[in-house]
Amino acid sequence: MAASMCDVFSFCVGVPGRAQVAVEVRFVSSSKGKGLFAKQLIRKGETIFVERPLVAAQFLWNALYRYRACDHCLRALETAEENAQRLTGKPGQVLPHPELCIVRKDLHQNCPHCQVMYCSAECRLAAAEQYHRVLCAGPSQDDPLHPLNKLQEAWRSVHYPPETASIMLMARMVATVKQAKDKDRWIRLFSQFCNKTANEEEEIVHKLLGDKFKGQLDLLRRLFTEALYEEALSQWFTPDGFRSLFALVGTNGQGIGTSSLSQWVHACDALELKPQDREQLDAFIDQLYKDIEAATGEFLNCEGSGLFVLQSCCNHSCVPNAETSFPENNFLLHVTALEDIQPGEEICISYLDCCQRERSRHSRHKILRENYLFVCSCPKCLAEADEPNVTSEEEEEEDEEEEGDPEDAELGDEMTAV
């Protein structure tokens, strides 16, 4: 096990040109599995590590609704102004300081065979080298009868927004192994992610696909097999193996969010302006977001998910000492310290958003059990152990709203900080 874990470290931490803080993966307990620990003092605000995912994929409904992202790194392809125009529904929307937009449309390239778009030649070549040669549909890209298109359509018919996973993440895992010269290495890398019992896996699949999940899972497995069968991964195509693969993605997939408009706003915040000019710009941005909320709701970002080996080793805490973000407008995940972290201390992130972390212990546990199948024993939960196992009236109303109509539920869980 130690040898393969070293393989993971060399693969994941080696983002070129990045200084990394020393961390190590340790076995914590049978209930928590692995954990990530600091090997040196990490100061508040310091980037602990930057990680590239093994595979990543945009959510299918997100792509269908014209959230244009690089097919490899998920970098937003629209300019900030184009993004604002689409989200507000105002074709004439103009943004001040257009020079702050970081999108380089002159660098964009598409696959010459299927026309999927990339933010750069580097991403096009990286995708072709890792998985795209297997997944490229060529001139059949828009043919509804192509096996991959049938698979994607079946997925969209059972997994509606707010999305939390994509069948194409699993497809890219298979395609990566199919294209690899060293297939065993990639199988070993994917096997690093936590495994669940059969009952737990069934709960995860149920959560993703709903009450009719058994029939839907059988349909998806059949279409998945027709499109992608690989002898070296034959176990993944059996009923049990496909359920396990589904659960792996459902449990370990990290949401990714990118937005050219968000990057433009951050750049505006950094401008040195006269007080009157700052007030006018802030008022413009506030009104812009109000217009977007009225037209689009909370679906602001290009959204997808990825499998990150180091990040997946970070356990949850309701009082985390680190947080994840995607400040480079692509799939590179940054983990940053929220407070000083001492040598030997575990690095924990939160699987809950800010609002969820402020809810009662009972409500937090309910969310974590339903989505991640564990009971939290962080310091905050232990300190609140004597609280009654009840949910406040306000929280119950929120839960009823979310459970009553999944398509109109709050979209906060899908929106990932950028």
Backbone angles phi, psi at 24, to 5 degrees: -145, 150
- The residues near 101 (Cβ < 8 Å, ≥ 6 apart) are 79, 80, 81, 95, 260, 263, 264
Please tell me which residue, 150 or 374, carries the higher pLDDT value.
150
Ranges 10-14, 184-188, 216-220: which has the least confidence: 10-14
Per-residue pLDDT band at 372 (split at 50, 70, 90) = confident
Q: Three-state DSSP class for 109?
A: strand
- Smallest CA-to-CA distance from 158 within 212, 82, 122 is with 212
Q: Report the predicted TM-score, pTM, of the whole model to 2 decimal places.
A: 0.86
Q: How far is CA 280 from CA 99, 166, 289, in A?
A: 18, 41, 15
Summarised one tens digit per residue, pLDDT across range 394-405 is 555 555 554 444
The contacts of residue 156 (CB under 8 Å, 6+ apart) are 60, 61, 64
Report whether pLDDT(392) > 70. no
Q: Are 79 and 100 in contact (CB under 8 A)?
A: no
Q: What is the DSSP string of 150-164?
A: HHHHHHHHH-PSSP-
What is the pLDDT, as a whole number, of residue 417?
42
Sorted by where each starts, the structural domains of the chain and their CATH numbers stand as 1-53+322-350 (2.170.270.10), 57-254 (no CATH), 359-387 (no CATH)
Instruction: Give residue-wise pLDDT tens across range 10-59.
Output: 333 444 434 466 899 998 887 778 899 999 999 999 999 999 999 999 99
Q: Which residues of 159-174 are buried (b: 16+ CB within 10 A; e: fewer)?
A: bebbbbbbbbbbbbbb
Q: What is the mean pLDDT of residues 56-83?
A: 97
Question: Helix, strand or coil for residue 24?
Answer: strand
CA distances (Å), 275 to each of 44, 249, 272, 282, in order? Answer: 30, 48, 9, 11
Assess whether pLDDT exceeds 50 at residue 260: yes
Short-list 352, 362, 367, 355, CA closest to 318: 352
* Whether residue 282 has pLDDT greater than 80: yes
